[in-house]
Amino acid sequence: MEMSSWDEWVELALSKLESMKVLRSLRPIHYSSYPFEIKPKIDHAFKVFDDIRQWDRASVEIEIAESTFNRWLLDVPSSGDDLTCDNADLEGESGSCSKQLRKLLLFSGNDYLGLSSHPMVAKAATKAVQEHGMGPRGSALICGYTTYHRLLESCLAESKNKEDCLLCPTGFSANMAFMTVVGYVGSLSDINKTHLKEGVAIFSDALNHASIIDGIRLAEKQEIVQVFIYRHCDMAHLNVLLSNCMMKKKVVVTDSLFSMDGDFAPMVQLSKLRKKHNFLLVVDDAHGTLVCGKSGGGVPEEFGCSDDVDICIGTLSKAVGCHGGFIACSKKWKQLIQSRGRAFIFSTSTPVPIIAAAHAAVVVAKKETWRRKAIWNRVQDFRSLTGIPITSHIISLIVGSEDHALQASRHMLKCGFHITAIRPPTVPPNLCRLRITLSAAHTRNDIRKLTSALSQCISLRESGYFYTNATPKL
């Protein structure tokens, strides 16, 4: 079958929305000091570097208050108001509280390329805030959408090999907005809603992110939406579900790289199933954007499947090192989402300085190719030193009970590493773990120290990935 079916359904939905006079438009606010061009010739303004610098270490070297350190060791709940230093130190001669701070090496963040501390990113944010403050504040459909936002959208669309892109306040809201719109495609494009086969069938991986699950819950409110959960990365199970489904409008949604297990979705097999069953393939590439693929296009690019992904959802809070979310898609899908995606419509848009910083980060990431090479070198270092066959920069070490996970986390804290124990409800009971994330700002020596400390509290040879066939109830 031709893959144009979803295009036709979206076009029909847009036509009905137009007849109802509820299509919404984006109207970028222009800044005279920042001329808008679809492909601006401003790359020369970004100074780039060919290896790790001291500012990169700022993204992985942190300090915590002594009081926070002690609370962590005792597993005492904190409201977040721990003092960074004692009053006694503040009243001392030097006025310094350095003795009350603990230096830690961060192995639990999502700043995979270390871009959050890059001088060009800071410069872009500083320049924007000096010239425009936080920018006009409002939803994107009112006054919060600027030429800065449009520039970043164009840049991300090109990176994801898509026709266009829509920025959202967060990656969570991006998933929420898209999944609810999927329901609208069914409800607006079918005159006779009494026939179940005319509805929308959503197929979701059992371990998809909470934002996808919550978005599906809202989509399911539409009476013509049915949800099917397939076992984690089990393409045989997905194939059976698709084959037995009589509904014409099918959507398969999956994380590209699963955040709690560190494994990749079987992109090649998904592409083959897409051709067989003619479904809309939606991929949340939150943890793969800029990290995977020759040019940083993400997991679909890494596996040569970019053209087979219809919708690519992502975030600016991981490898981009900033904040926000996006949906890379066709222009028709974009218009539909901006007209009916409630999580987008009713949210204030991201402040201009953050958008300017994100654009700088994407440009820098494309130019400083050593960052992608560095993070994959760290993956290889960990694999070589431990013998654990990890496949990504997200390392999930299953330790079992909650007590064991907390003990391991406290041990790592004493050794100078910031690594949190992942416990229920994030993961099932008795599958508690240490979740470790690697960064381009880490060095081989960091990995050597890390693995040495880990070997003192857990059995590395018996740790690794755990794939569950459990199907969560949506």
Average pLDDT, the chain: 88
Tell the residue number behind the tokens 């219809």, with chain if given. Answer: 310
Q: What is the pLDDT of residue 91?
A: 43
Question: Phi then psi for 185, rounded to 5 degrees?
Answer: -60, -40
- Yes or no: say if 106 and 63 are a contact pair by the CB < 8 Å rule: no
In the CATH scheme, what is the code of domain 5-41+119-366?
3.40.640.10
In 3D, which of 325, 319, 308, 140 has the Cα closest to residue 215? 325
- Yes or no: say if 153 and 316 are a contact pair by the CB < 8 Å rule: no
The CA dihedral of 356, 360, 365, 366, to the nearest 10 degrees, is 110
Q: What is the pLDDT of residue 199?
A: 86
* Alpha helices by DSSP H, 34-135: 54-57, 66-74, 87-90, 119-132
Structure tokens at 243: 């084959």
- Distance, in Å, from the CA atom of 180 to the CA atom of 343, rounded to the nearest integer, reads 9
Structure tokens at 142: 């009112």
Position 365 confidence tier, pLDDT thresholds 50, 70, 90: very high
Question: Phi then psi for 413, rounded to 5 degrees?
Answer: -65, -45
In 3D, which of 306, 315, 206, 217 has the Cα closest to residue 258? 206
Angle at which helices 352-367 and 119-132 cross, to 10°: 150
Q: What is the pLDDT of residue 467?
A: 35
Task: Report how far apart, in Å, the C-alpha atoms of 283 and of each of 143, 347, 359 are.
Answer: 30, 23, 22
Q: Is the pLDDT of residue 303 over 70?
A: yes
Q: Is the pLDDT of residue 327 over 90?
A: yes
Structure tokens at 427: 């993961």
Q: What is the pLDDT of residue 426?
A: 85
Q: What is the pLDDT of residue 471?
A: 33
Q: For the chain, give the number of residues.
A: 474
R_g of the chain, CA atoms, integer Å: 23
Tens digit of each residue's pLDDT (9 = 90 or more) over 188-205: 644 455 555 778 999 999
Residues of the chain above pLDDT 70, percent = 87
Q: Answer positive or negative: Cα dihedral of 169, 171, 174, 180.
A: negative
Tens digit of each residue's pLDDT (9 = 90 or more) over 408-426: 999 999 999 999 899 998 8
Q: What is the pLDDT of residue 226?
A: 93
Identify whether 425 is preceded by a cis peptide bond (ω within 30 of 0): yes
Q: What is the pLDDT of residue 427?
A: 87
Question: Phi then psi for 280, rounded to 5 degrees?
Answer: -85, 120
Q: What is the pLDDT of residue 88?
A: 43
Q: Is the pLDDT of residue 382 over 70?
A: yes
For residue 100, the SS3 value is helix
Tens digit of each residue's pLDDT (9 = 90 or more) over 139-176: 999 999 999 999 999 999 999 999 999 999 999 999 99
Same fold, 5-41+119-366 and 61-82+97-110+370-462: no
Q: Which CATH architecture has domain 61-82+97-110+370-462?
A: Alpha-Beta Complex (3.90)
Mean pLDDT of the region 74-82: 73
Angle at which helices 352-367 and 147-159 cross, to 10°: 30
Mean pLDDT of the region 112-127: 96
Q: Is 99 exposed, middle or buried (0-12, 13-18, 19+ CB in 10 A)?
A: exposed
Tens digit of each residue's pLDDT (9 = 90 or more) over 214-272: 999 999 988 789 999 999 999 999 999 999 999 999 999 999 999 999 999 999 999 99
Mean pLDDT of the region 359-372: 96
Domain boundaries along the sequence of the chain: 5-41+119-366, 61-82+97-110+370-462
Position 94 confidence tier, pLDDT thresholds 50, 70, 90: very low
- Yes or no: say if 145 and 153 are a contact pair by the CB < 8 Å rule: no
Position 90 confidence tier, pLDDT thresholds 50, 70, 90: very low
Q: What is the pLDDT of residue 67?
A: 85
